Amino acid sequence: MGNETVDNLATPEYTPQLQAFRQVLESRRSVRRFTDTPIPDDVLTDCLRLAMLAPNSSNLQPWEFYVIDSADKRKRAVKNCMNQNAAKTASRLIAVVARTDIWHEHAQQILREYPDKPVPKKVKNYYAQIVAMDFIRGPMNVISVAKWGATQAIRQVKGPIKSPYYTFDDVKNWATNNTALAAENLMLALRAHGFDSCPMGGFDEPAMKQLLGLGGNHHIVMMIGAGERADNGIYESQFRFDQTQLVHHV
């Protein structure tokens, strides 16, 4: 099956939920020009709440969202976004940030705030020990070397084992994966509320981090400009490659 849309809307599978879901996904575009209409605070708050419902590894939620409200910061942030119209005309400009250092703190917070009391022993063990083993690297990655050896040995003897994180880049990749899912949720939530967005990778990350006071353990995964779509907000027709090229049934 290629990229054709489902035409038979009379099928029992075509529920109102599916219809609404498809409308949100199919109407989302990267919008580069917005009107002056502001996104109300309560709408933005709801979109951020929906963003953070994204699935994420071990529920460690390694994301942060910096909504750039101050006029002065906003001016400088637009410049750091290479003066793109999507940033310049946006009602809201948001830095979507992945944290590489927060797993430990969040693991402890999960145990404190775990909703099903008493916290099951398995859960305590998972967050206190297994998560720590997954992430801990030690000074100069010295623990990672031992972890690598142990993982190889277990793989040989017992069979498949999930690779732990050995390097800073492994953790950065992990945090980025999780955060990108939340970013997509945010953009879809904005669309569902009747607003639009443009994800931007075209920005000066060191300059933006300096502006927002972020350190080496913060990675700006993308900037998102958001607002009401202007009539000339879409620059080109949407197209995607055919599924037959990219989907492999193996």
Ligand X SMILES: Cc1cc2nc3c(=O)[nH]c(=O)nc-3n(C[C@H](O)[C@H](O)[C@H](O)COP(=O)(O)O)c2cc1C
Give the pair of three-digit tokens for residue 214: 């972020």
The distance of closest approach from Cβ of residue 36 to ligand X in the complex, given in angstroms and rounded to an integer, is 20
202 lines the binding site for ligand X (CB under 6 A)? yes
33 lines the binding site for ligand X (CB under 6 A)? no
Closest residue to ligand X, judged by C-beta, is 202
Beta-bridge partners for 94: 67, 224
Which residue in the set 44, 47, 51, 86 belongs to the binding site for ligand X (CB under 6 A)? 86
98 lines the binding site for ligand X (CB under 6 A)? no
Residue 186 corresponds to which amino acid? L
Which residue in the set 198, 211, 212, 224 belongs to the binding site for ligand X (CB under 6 A)? 198
Alpha-carbon distances of 183 from 24, 97, 144, rounded to whole Å: 15, 9, 30
| CB burial of residue 9 (10 Å; 0-12, 13-18, 19+) | exposed
Query: What binding mask, one character per residue, do residues 12-31 give for ligand X by CB under 6 A, x or -?
Result: -----------------xx-
Which residues are within 8 A (CB) of 90 and not within 5 positions of it... i.e. 6 or more apart?
34, 198, 225, 226, 227
**Which residues in the 215-244 window bind ligand X by CB under 6 A?**
222, 238
Residue 77 corresponds to which amino acid? A
Closer to ligand X by CB, 29 or 73: give it: 29
- Chain-centre distance of CA 184, in angstroms? 6
177 lines the binding site for ligand X (CB under 6 A)? no
- Which residues bind to ligand X, rule: CB under 6 A? 29-30, 32, 84, 86, 198-202, 222, 238
